[in-house]
Structure 1
Amino acid sequence: MATRKRIDLFPYFLLVPALLITMVIVAWPLVETVRLSFTDASLKPEENFVGLANYEKMFSRRFPEVIGRTFYWMALSVSFKMLVGLLGAVLLNAAVPGRALFRVLVMPPWIVPIAVGVFIWGWMYNGQFGMISGLMQRMHMIGTPLEFLAYRDTAFMATIITDVWIGTPMVTVYLLAAMQGISKEMQEAAWVDGAGRFYRFRRITLPLIMPAMATMALLSAIWTFNSFDIIWILTEGGPRGSTTTMIIDTYKTAISRFKYGEGAARAVMIVCFLSAFTGFYFFLLSRLAKRGEA
């Protein structure tokens, strides 16, 4: 009996190091963040319990506008990623000469370090020596140099374009793998019956890759919602807060203005939103799994 108990407990002992690491780097910082959100912690040595004051202050100011901007930024970015990624997957799945080379060329935005890629886009957006402004002047679309990152609307769209450029390769590869998992016999049977290319895509390819598209859209939404480096490198949340998302606002509050308590309250709200996304993601996976079994 004693030997049997040691054998049964052995796998749990193997999990202890992983559990300890998780507690140290995930659970403890999360608990500490929640605790700080109920205090007026700052650079001063002492901190006082303030209850829900940080949350009340957060929603009484412009933070609801920041939340709306974050979801708007995420929705546009994810929509463009899915659209461009789906188009790219269709083209890369087609039987065209040089298909292997095109599949390799789609990867650089994903392979290049994000900071390097964003700095390059920052140079391209520059009005004085940037390529985009120069091309638009040569094409007589604008008469004078345009500083894309100096105006609210253009800066907002510039961050979205950069995020789409970085995130599209992942979507493309994921959907391409889903398309290649479709039975060729099914496509050939539809072709023999006279179904056109667009009809086969609408009736066969699209329904079969829909689970992969839903999964990729949710994962991309979580990554985009939590994106920091793209906006910070390009605009630091400006001009006039036009690109300030929840992540950027939390960083500015806690790090730039040294209001750790208020920053912690914002971080807790971000965790709540991301937890909701994660819960919906697992719910969707379970539904898709049940549908596949049926």
Structure 2
Amino acid sequence: MSQPSKPIDWFPYLLLVPAVVITLVIVAWPLAETLRLSFTDASMNPETHYVGLENYQKMFARNFPEVVGRTFAWMVIGVTLKMVVGLLAAVLLNAAVPGRTLMRILIMPPWIVPIAIGVFIWGWMYNGQFGMISGLGQRIGLLSGPFEFLAFKNSAFMATIVTDVWIGTPLVAVYLLAAMQSVPRDLYEAAWTDGASRFYRFRRITMPMIMPAMATMSLLSAIWTFNSFDIIWILTEGGPRNATTTMIIDTYKTAISRFRYGEGSARAVMIVIFLTIFSLLYFAMIRKLSKKGAM
């Protein structure tokens, strides 16, 4: 005789309903609406017409490729500096030295302080007339007179990166510090017994063990940096002469400042596409490196 089939237990699926509804309302619906608007001439005019790929053609016919290149340059430089400085800070915070707890507390203010307040402080320091950086540069002889860091293209670009690194490094350092503290101490003791140097232990034990954490944090940091808006907007609003206009700033200017919602939606869709491609390539690279390390 055949066994009677068990009734389906619907309770686990019911528990998933709130999460599914929230995801559809907060994520899926706005994405679908943005995609729809990207094919229209939506603006302040209540009448909206379907324009096909016209918004995308306008976008690429202008300076959008330059904006894309600037965005990736800003992201790569910023994330690289955050990972390097954060790793060095984590190593120092993990060292058995007096006052280690106090140093761990003091590294957090750049990340704890509201971003707007921190960026405003950096804006004052970049000021050429009364800013600390310009004054210090003149005092030690690096500058011959007041220098407006945010008034020139190259200096403004680097100034926004420095501010972004200052804000993002503490989180990277604390995250990598937690990863370092999870490494079994037996590995270090065995290597120390065999006469391995401190650098050798760091290179052959610490780095391989924290590599998954570094991969996760670098990806998250890349996405956050790519979508960073407030730092650039407060400091330069994308200037001077669009020197700091990234994709997110360009999207905001088009959709909000110029009220071209259709063109702004097209730019937002491109941001999603770029981030999706970047994430897939990143995970593929990490998977390949992990397999190579396991062999």
TM-score by length of 2: 0.93
Question: Match of 1:125?
Answer: 126
CA–CA distance in structure 2, aligned partners of residues 292 and 203 of structure 1:
12
| Matched residue type, 1:23 | L
Question: Match of 1:34?
Answer: 35
- After TM superposition, give the deviation of residue 217 of structure 1 in Å: 1.0
Task: Give runs of aligned pairs for residues 212-291 of structure 1, distance below 5 A.
Answer: 212-280=213-281
- After TM superposition, give the deviation of residue 39 of structure 1 in Å: 0.8
| Matched residue type, 2:49 | N
- After TM superposition, give the deviation of residue 33 of structure 1 in Å: 0.7
CA–CA distance in structure 2, aligned partners of residues 14 and 184 of structure 1:
41
Deviation track 1:9-43 (CA, whole Å, cap 9, x = no partner) reads: 12222322332222222211111111110111111
Pairing 1:4–2:7 present:
yes
Question: Match of 2:70?
Answer: 69
Deviation track 1:255-288 (CA, whole Å, cap 9, x = no partner) reads: 1111111100000000111222343465567778
Deviates more, 1:176-185 or 1:57-66: 176-185
| Matched residue type, 1:18 | A
- After TM superposition, give the deviation of residue 243 of structure 1 in Å: 0.3
Question: Match of 2:196?
Answer: 195
The answer to whether the 8 A contact 1:148-1:158 is kept is yes
Question: Match of 2:48?
Answer: 47
What's the secondary structure of 1:40's corresponding residue?
coil
CA–CA distance in structure 1, aligned partners of residues 177 and 278 of structure 2:
24
CA–CA distance in structure 2, aligned partners of residues 82 and 97 of structure 1:
25
Deviates more, 1:10-19 or 1:120-129: 10-19
- After TM superposition, give the deviation of residue 2 of structure 1 in Å: 11
| Matched residue type, 1:214 | A
CA–CA distance in structure 1, aligned partners of residues 82 and 18 of structure 2:
38
Deviates more, 1:42-51 or 1:182-191: 182-191
Question: Match of 2:57?
Answer: 56
The answer to whether the 8 A contact 2:116-2:234 is kept is yes
CA–CA distance in structure 2, aligned partners of residues 208 and 59 of structure 1:
43
- After TM superposition, give the deviation of residue 188 of structure 1 in Å: 1.9
What's the secondary structure of 1:149's corresponding residue?
helix
- After TM superposition, give the deviation of residue 4 of structure 1 in Å: 3.3
The answer to whether the 8 A contact 2:215-2:286 is kept is no
The answer to whether the 8 A contact 1:222-1:277 is kept is no
What's the secondary structure of 2:7's corresponding residue?
helix
- After TM superposition, give the deviation of residue 291 of structure 1 in Å: 8.8
What's the secondary structure of 1:133's corresponding residue?
helix
| Matched residue type, 2:66 | E
CA–CA distance in structure 1, aligned partners of residues 213 and 20 of structure 2:
31
The answer to whether the 8 A contact 1:114-1:230 is kept is yes
CA–CA distance in structure 1, aligned partners of residues 35 and 170 of structure 2:
36
Give the alignment's Cα RMSD to 1 decimal.
2.1
| Matched residue type, 2:176 | L
| CA shift in 2, pair 1:98/1:283, >3 Å | same
TM-score by length of 1: 0.93
- After TM superposition, give the deviation of residue 153 of structure 1 in Å: 0.6
CA–CA distance in structure 2, aligned partners of residues 69 and 26 of structure 1:
27
CA–CA distance in structure 1, aligned partners of residues 285 and 215 of structure 2:
8
- Report the identity percentage: 72
Deviation track 1:179-202 (CA, whole Å, cap 9, x = no partner) reads: 111122221222222222112212
CA–CA distance in structure 2, aligned partners of residues 288 and 203 of structure 1:
16
- After TM superposition, give the deviation of residue 3 of structure 1 in Å: 9.6
Question: Match of 2:160?
Answer: 159
Deviation track 1:77-119 (CA, whole Å, cap 9, x = no partner) reads: 0000010001001101111111111111111111111111111
Structure 2: give runs of 5+ residues left out of the alignment: none
The answer to whether the 8 A contact 1:228-1:247 is kept is yes
The answer to whether the 8 A contact 1:152-1:240 is kept is yes
CA–CA distance in structure 2, aligned partners of residues 222 and 107 of structure 1:
21
What is the number of equivalent residue pairs in this alignment? 292
The answer to whether the 8 A contact 1:37-1:263 is kept is yes
CA–CA distance in structure 2, aligned partners of residues 29 and 181 of structure 1:
39
What's the secondary structure of 1:4's corresponding residue?
coil
CA–CA distance in structure 2, aligned partners of residues 16 and 292 of structure 1:
41
